[in-house]
Amino acid sequence: MEKEAKIFVAGHRGMVGSAIVRALEKEGYFHLIKRTSKELDLRDQTKVADFFAEEQPEYVFLAAAKVGGIVANNTYRADFLYENLMIQTNVIHQSYVQNVKKLLFLGSSCIYPKLAPQPLKEDYLLTGTLEPTNEPYAIAKIAGIKMCESYRSQYGCNFISAMPTNLYGINDNYHPQNSHVLPALIRRFHEAKLAGISEVNIWGTGSPLREFLYADDLGEACVFLMQNYNEEQFINVGVGEDISIRDLAYLVSEIVGYSGGLRFDTSKPNGTPRKLMNVDKLHALGWKHKTSLKEGIALAYADFLHKY
């Protein structure tokens, strides 16, 4: 990927997109094309076609998506399916039409079957039933993977896909209902600390295991993959180790400085029991994450304090 290349980062203001922009700029890429959702609605086929025809990007990072936690996924099922299908369909197809040199599509670890063997290998895709609460989102992301594979096999497009594990970091979403577990915990413990609340409720038993990758590490991995990976099969991006929600909650409360108690509400759903990525393929290429979970949460909390 040439330093002067025209690079379109779709979703550049989101947590993942902004991390990709920082990673690109850090490596000396300067011709970055960015559009906010108000400037370019990626769900609009005509507008996306016009944009690609006018800008002629050479490389595309497809980080734009409608995302959210377990509540948002289960509540806005139609929105998650429709909007993600439209965004990726328009961007991937126009990348083919306008002869983009290479495209990187970003999915999610939720594409794997709910009860797939752990750790999750790339070969486990479509071998079982999905987690019901986020099935529409997962199906949209699987469709994106298959689009990249199909455009590669039919038209010879160098379109690759990467599946990140659970992410957190700068520009995360801290909405009280629609956020993911780690930013939700940061906000909840921070507000409880300020209000002097003696106990914080945590959804579920605390037993599910989750893997967390700092977003800026993902940004660097995406640039690395754009430079070094050209295979049809998607590739996992993660840290290769996980933590229970219970231990995560205690870690976040410690970093935030909350001194009250924790109560686990067993009437609430746990979600998938475990989602640990097998990252042997990525490590074999020579990339590994740099940021520890404790260090990353401290950075995320500092960003939360700065913005909110």
Sequence ranges of the binding site: 11-17, 106-109, 141, 164-167, 180, 188, 203, 210
Q: Is 181 within 8 Å of 125 (Cβ atoms)?
A: no
Sequence-distant (≥ 6) Cβ neighbours of residue 269 within 8 angstroms = 70, 133, 203, 204
Map tokens 């203001």 to a residue: 13
Residue 38: CB atoms within 10 Å: 6
CA distance 306 to 218: 22
**What's the rounded Cα separation, in Å, for the pair 145 and 105?**
7
Which residue ranges make up the annotated binding site for NADP(+)?
A: 11-17, 106-109, 141, 164-167, 180
102's enclosing H/E stretch is strand 102-106
Rounded to whole angstroms, how far apart are CA atoms 218 and 198?
36
Which residue among 137, 151, 174, 229 is the active-site one?
137
Active site residue 112: no
Residue with tokens 């430079």: 227
Q: How far apart are CA 58 and CA 158, in angstroms?
A: 11
The CA-based diameter of the chain, rounded to the nearest angstrom, is 60
User: Which two structure tokens, joined as six digits, stand for 196?
Assistant: 């002097």
Sequence-ordered list of residues with C-beta below 8 angstroms from that of 262, at least 6 positions apart, any chain: 199, 200, 202, 249, 250, 253
Q: Are 296 and 239 in contact (CB under 8 A)?
A: no
| Backbone phi and psi for residue 273, each to the nearest 5 degrees, phi listed first | -60, -40
User: Could you list the active site residues?
Assistant: 137
